[in-house]
């Protein structure tokens, strides 16, 4: 399992996250990014080409050192400056009200204590700041949700701790962030147990 986590999983993650069908959702989600920006769960850096052209700099965090061999070369080639740190989102060493924008794409599923992370996101956002998110999660279709519940414990260790069945919109709302323009849908040609996407903006 160690070899899998060090070598196989980073390769698989980068390949899956580069899927062209994710480009448009990434672009839509990142379109409002502005001001001082923090991206949590930076992964292999697959959001970098999708920031609006006027974004010149972001700060980014990810705890997984095994992803560096994909993310660091991408950071070096990026047209925007990336101030990157190995950190987890549950313990952000940043002052209150620092950011105009916090970004999370396909990350809330993998954070062990997601409620704590969302509280941190809210804390570091300025009043009126925006949380931009694009996540897969619990389907509203009971049959799909039951399948997600059944698959979850086998899926998680193979998929970097990813939960299939988290209710993303509810989790964001429960954190005290206020969902604004948010929509949910099945991404075409993705199995439904992994394809219920929620994307949008929540305000501090």
Ligand X SMILES: C[S@@+](CC[C@H](N)C(=O)[O-])C[C@H]1O[C@@H](n2cnc3c(N)ncnc32)[C@H](O)[C@@H]1O
Q: Which residues bind ligand X (CB under 6 A)?
A: 13, 17, 40-41, 43, 46-47, 62-64, 67, 88-90, 105-107, 110-112, 160-161
Judged by CB, which is closer to ligand X: 41, or 200?
A: 41
Judged by CB, which is closer to ligand X: 46, or 169?
A: 46
* Residue 116, helix vs strand vs coil: helix
Query: Cα–chain-centroid distance for residue 11?
Result: 18
Q: How far is the CB of 153 from ligand X (least distance, A)?
A: 18
Judged by CB, which is closer to ligand X: 113, or 146?
A: 113
Q: How far is the CB of 6 from ligand X (least distance, A)?
A: 13
Q: Return the residue nearest ligand X (CB atom).
A: 43
- In angstroms, the CA 108 to CA 96 distance is 21
**CA dihedral for 183, 24, 88, 131, sign (positive or negative):** negative
Judged by CB, which is closer to ligand X: 121, or 144?
A: 121
- In angstroms, the CA 201 to CA 30 distance is 10
Compute how many other C-beta atoms are within 10 angstroms of the C-beta atom of residue 111. 23
């Amino acid at each position: 399992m160690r070899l899998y986590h060090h070598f196989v999983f980073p390769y698989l993650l980068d390949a899956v996250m580069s899927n062209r069908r994710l480009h448009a959702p990434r672009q839509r989600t990142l379109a409002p990014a502005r001001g001082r920006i923090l991206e949590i769960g930076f992964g292999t850096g697959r959001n970098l080409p999708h920031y609006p052209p006027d974004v010149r700099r972001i700060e980014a965090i990810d705890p997984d050192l095994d992803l560096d061999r994909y993310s660091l070369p991408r950071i070096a080639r990026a047209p925007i400056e990336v101030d990157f740190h190995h950190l987890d989102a549950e313990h952000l060493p940043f002052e209150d009200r620092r950011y105009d924008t916090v970004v999370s794409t396909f990350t809330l599923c993998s954070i062990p204590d997601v409620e704590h992370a969302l509280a941190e996101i809210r804390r570091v956002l300025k009043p009126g700041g925006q949380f931009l998110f694009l996540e897969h999660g619990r389907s509203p279709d009971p049959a799909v949700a039951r399948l997600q519940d059944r698959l979850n414990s086998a899926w998680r260790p193979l998929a970097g701790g990813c939960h299939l069945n988290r209710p993303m919109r509810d989790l964001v709302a429960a954190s005290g962030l206020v969902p604004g323009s948010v929509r949910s849908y099945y991404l075409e040609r993705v199995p439904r147990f992994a394809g219920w996407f929620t994307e949008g903006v929540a305000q501090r």
